[in-house]
Amino acid sequence: MIIILRPSASQADADQILQRISDCGLKPLCLPGTERVVLGALGDERKLGALHLESHPAVERVDAVLAPYKAVSREMHSASSVVTIGDFPVGSDRFFIVGGPCAVEGLDPLRLSAKVVKSSGAHALRGGAFKPRTSPYSFQGMGIEGLKVLRQVSDELSLPCITEVVEVADVEAVESYADAFQVGARNMQNFRLLTALGKATKPVILKRGMAASVEDLLMAAEYIVSEGNQNVILCERGIRTFEKGTRNTLDLSAVCQLKKLSHLPVLVDPSHGTGVREYVTPMACAAIACGADGVLVETHHCPQEAFSDGAQSLLPAQFEAMVNQLKAFADAAGRVI
C-alpha cells in the first residue's frame, strides 16, 4: 500500500505512522518526495486495514499498489531513482559506462585493461573474482585474491569497481573490497543471496536471468529492496531464444518496460547480450536510444589470451572508439557521458 501524506504533514506524523505500520508486522518504507512524503507498507495488506490510516489527519489517501512487486514499482515511487556508484549518479542525466575484462586474471593483466577503460573516459571497472561457469572445468576465478587485485587497480586508477557475488558466504568479503555487487544471470533467483544483499549497503547490479521475464526480474529486485537496500540497478543482458546467431537475444524492449514499470536505473550488457564482438558497439548505442542509464561492456587488453569470454571482449582500440561513438548518441538523446 502507499500512504500519501498531506503537504502539511510533519516529520513527527510520518514517524508515528511508520511506527504503527511496523507495529502491525508490516515493513515500513519512507519515500520522501519534493512536494510531499509518501509512505509504503509492505506485507499482508489486510493488516493495514485495521489501522484505518485513511482517517489519520496527516494522511491524504491510501492507495493499493496493483503490481505484484511493490517497493521497486513506479506506482510506489514515481520519480526515477539515482543510485551512486563511487561518486557516479547512475540513473541521472549522465550515461554510465562500465568496462573491464570478464574475469580478474592477475594484477598485470587487469591493470592493462583498466588503463584503457580509464583513458577512454569510462566511469567504472568490472571484473569477476568469482566466476559462475557453465563447465566445472573452466576457470572459476581468483576468489579473494582476485578481489584484492581488483581493489588495488581500482584505487590506482581512481575507478570504482564492480564484481560478482555468487553466494551468501561471500557477501561480506565482496562488500569490503568492491564498490558495487553484481548478481549474475544464473543467480537472479537465488533468493537467499538476494535477501542477504538486501541487508548490505553497497549498490547491487541485478542481471536478468536468461529465462526470466521482466516481472521475474522486478520480483527479484523486490527481494533486495524490501530488506532495506534501496541501491539496486537492473541489467538487461539477453535471454535464451531459438536464435543461434548470437549467444543470447538482447531484449532492448525490456529496457522500455523496466523504465515504465520501475523507478530503478537500468543498464544494458551488450557483451553477454550478443556474445559477438562486432555487435557490441551497435547494441551499446541502441541502449542509449531505448532509454538505458548505462552499459556494462567487456574489454580485454588481449582477448585471444582471455581466460573467459574473449570472443565478446572488445579490443582496447574498439573500446576507446565505442566510448567516443557513445558520446554522439548520448548527446542526441539529451544525456551526457
- Tell me which residues touch Mn ion (CB under 5 A): 102, 309
Binding mask 87-126 for ligand PEP (x = CB under 6 A): ---------------x------------------------
Nearest to 97 by CA among 275, 274, 322: 322
Stretch in the footprint of ligand PEP (CB under 6 A) among 62-70, 105-113, 180-188, 314-322: 180-188
Q: With binding defined as CB under 6 A, does residue 146 bind ligand PEP?
A: no
Among 86, 100, 128, 198, binds ligand PEP (CB under 6 A): 128
Nearest-angstrom CA–CA distance, 1 and 66: 9
Identity of the residue, 102 or 224, whose beta carbon is nearer to Mn ion in the bound complex: 102
Backbone dihedral angles phi then psi of residue 32, each to the nearest 5 degrees: -65, 135
Among 77, 202, 207, 259, binds ligand PEP (CB under 6 A): 207
Stretch in the footprint of ligand PEP (CB under 6 A) among 23-31, 149-157, 184-192, 195-203: 184-192
Among 70, 272, 300, 301, binds ligand PEP (CB under 6 A): 272
Nearest-angstrom CA–CA distance, 38 and 6: 9
Identity of the residue, 230 or 299, whose beta carbon is nearer to Mn ion in the bound complex: 299
Q: Could you say which of ligand PEP, Mn ion, none residue 184 binds, taking C-beta under 5 to 8 angstroms by partner kind?
A: ligand PEP
Q: Which three cell numbers stand for residue 114?
A: 583498466
Output the smallest distance, CB 304 to ligand PEP, in A: 18
Nearest to 317 by CA among 303, 305, 331, 306: 303
Which residues are bridge partners to 128 per DSSP? 103
Tell how many helices (H) and how many strands (E) occur in the chain. Answer: 11, 14
Output the smallest distance, CB 128 to Mn ion, in A: 7
Which residues lie below 8 Å from residue 311, measured CB to CB, with a gap of 6+? 275, 276, 277, 303
Number of residues that bind ligand PEP (CB under 6 A): 9
What residue is closest to ligand PEP based on CB? Answer: 184
Nearest to 232 by CA among 169, 188, 166: 188
Q: With binding defined as CB under 6 A, does residue 277 bind ligand PEP?
A: no
Could you give the dihedral angle defined by the CA atoms of residues 221, 239, 164 and 180, in that order, rounded to the nearest 10 degrees?
A: -50
Which residues lie below 8 Å from residue 11, measured CB to CB, with a gap of 6+? none
Name the site residues for ligand PEP (rule: CB under 6 A): 102, 128, 184-186, 207, 237, 269, 272
